[in-house]
Structure 1
Amino acid sequence: MQIINFIWQEISNKYALSQSESKQILSQIQTAYSQKQRHYHNLHHIADLLSQAKTHQEHLQDAESVYLAIFFHDIVYHASKSNNEEKSALLAEKILKEMKVEQSKIEKVSSYILATKKHLPAPEAGDLQFFLDADLSILASESARYEQYTAQIRQEYSIYPDFLYKAGRKKALQSFLEREKIFYFYGQDYEQKARKNIENEIYTLSR
């Protein structure tokens, strides 16, 4: 979790936040991602995405906007709601405005967050495509981690009985298989692993 503190401090320094202001906002972020119903969309997810962005920072035109989108993209998350992305974007806009982030950057971050609702490809927008690829990168993880991920997602949707969950999950997974590509920034290796994992999960859900 060290990377969360490190990158947040970099951002805080740029916007000349006082120590108390910086801690207050970071505490708000950490509290949101530490809610008990979060088994996957938690601080580990944020740390993973930040690590990916840091690794590929030299390939990003505006790494700061990507970092901010990562921090706020799931800050509002309830499995039973369909407006998490919209609420997350609104909260991000509010906080970033208080931080005196320039309006053009606030709008960019908000648009990135809203893009996670459908995860539609954006190959012409390099930074956004990286962000979307990173958010989906769990789909291309090794089999043991993927199984852990699917269990975590099932826990987050535990309010739904199996017959509803399985139908909804299979529909979402199938939509990825029907795409020409799932990954653009990460490429063919991720593509192959993700498609294999998704096919295996659909098979498991269908039994």
Structure 2
Amino acid sequence: MLAITEILARNPSPDLRAQLQPDWSNWMGILGNVSDSQSRIFNRICRWHAGWGRHYHDLTHLAHFFSLHQKHQLSWEQPSAFFASVFFHDAVYLPWRKDNEWRSAQLLSRYWEQLAGQRSGLHLAEQIILSTQRHQPLEDHPDIPQFLDLDLAILASDPDRYDEYALAIRKEYWMIPDRVYLPGRQAVLARFLDRPTLYFTAQFQHLWEDRARENLVREIQQLKQKATRP
């Protein structure tokens, strides 16, 4: 899958790359390891996320993580795992496949020693990435639910921004016809609504839960309306 990811890769926006550079440097500083490959790997990550067909799972999505991290002054038991998970959790993103998270975790493992110089910290980052597949923590570690909450922060956007997000997701699934996409998307949103809470941490339940549920209900209604059109 890396071969396909490389084929789809494009040069990123210089502004977005520059925006993410300090966060990458912060992560490298935490790792305390210097290698010639670090800049090359950062460039590849930026190119992957600027790849053809990415309309939401792109560099803006990564930048949003770090913006939220700073805005809410979040703390992490293993900061390195947080940074690693942000940069790699969507490294492989091919909407027609069901193993993107596993392949992204494998990609992180492949590059970890070049970045960190040792294996310590890799396991938690892999578990965070794998947990994003179903948005359920795979291990009992406080960094995992907090990361998952940030990954779903977009659901609690204002209505206009949420509609942009929903449209971006539809564009990413361009290969799926409406007769399949509309009921499939409704089912995904309904499963989220069936959860006791969308967010795991008390902080983000308080800040985001109500608005996110309103947005999901509204999108389901829109999808149903589209499905009834001739």
Judge same fold: TM > 0.5, yes or no: yes
Q: Of 112, 134, 139, which residue of structure 2 is paired with 1:96?
A: 112
Name the structure 2 match of 1:192: 210
TM-score normalised by structure 2 residue count: 0.84
- Structure 1 residues 84 and 148, CA gap change in structure 2 (3 angstroms): same
* Contact 2:82 2:143 (8 Å CA) reproduced: yes
- Kindly state the Cα deviation for residue 104 of structure 1 after the two structures are TM-superposed: 3.8
Q: Hey, what's the Cα distance between the residues in 1 that align with 2:120 and 2:28?
A: 18
Q: Any idea what SS the aligned residue of 1:199 has?
A: helix
Q: Any idea what SS the aligned residue of 2:121 has?
A: helix
- Kindly state the Cα deviation for residue 11 of structure 1 after the two structures are TM-superposed: 2.3
Please identify, of 5-14 and 150-159, the stretch whose mean Cα deviation from structure 2 is larger. Answer: 5-14
Q: Hey, what's the Cα distance between the residues in 1 that align with 2:159 and 2:117?
A: 40
Q: What count of residue pairs does the alignment treat as equivalent?
A: 206
Shift >3 Å, 4+ stretches: 54-58, 121-124
| Deviation per residue, 1:58-99 (Å, 9 max, x gap) | 532222211110100000000111110010000001111222
Name the structure 2 match of 1:31: 47
Q: CA RMSD in A?
A: 1.8
Name the structure 1 match of 2:70: 54
| Deviation per residue, 1:122-154 (Å, 9 max, x gap) | 795321111000000100100000000000000
* Contact 2:131 2:138 (8 Å CA) reproduced: no
Q: Hey, what's the Cα distance between the residues in 2 that align with 1:85 and 1:58?
A: 24
* Contact 2:68 2:150 (8 Å CA) reproduced: yes
* Contact 1:123 1:184 (8 Å CA) reproduced: no
Q: Is residue 83 of structure 2 the alignment partner of residue 67 of structure 1?
A: yes
Structure 2's unaligned 5+ residue stretches are 1-15, 226-230
- Fraction of identical pairs, as percent: 31
Q: Any idea what SS the aligned residue of 1:65 has?
A: helix
TM-score normalised by structure 1 residue count: 0.93
Q: Hey, what's the Cα distance between the residues in 1 that align with 2:50 and 2:129?
A: 19
Name the structure 2 match of 1:112: 128
Q: Is residue 226 of structure 2 the alignment partner of residue 201 of structure 1?
A: no
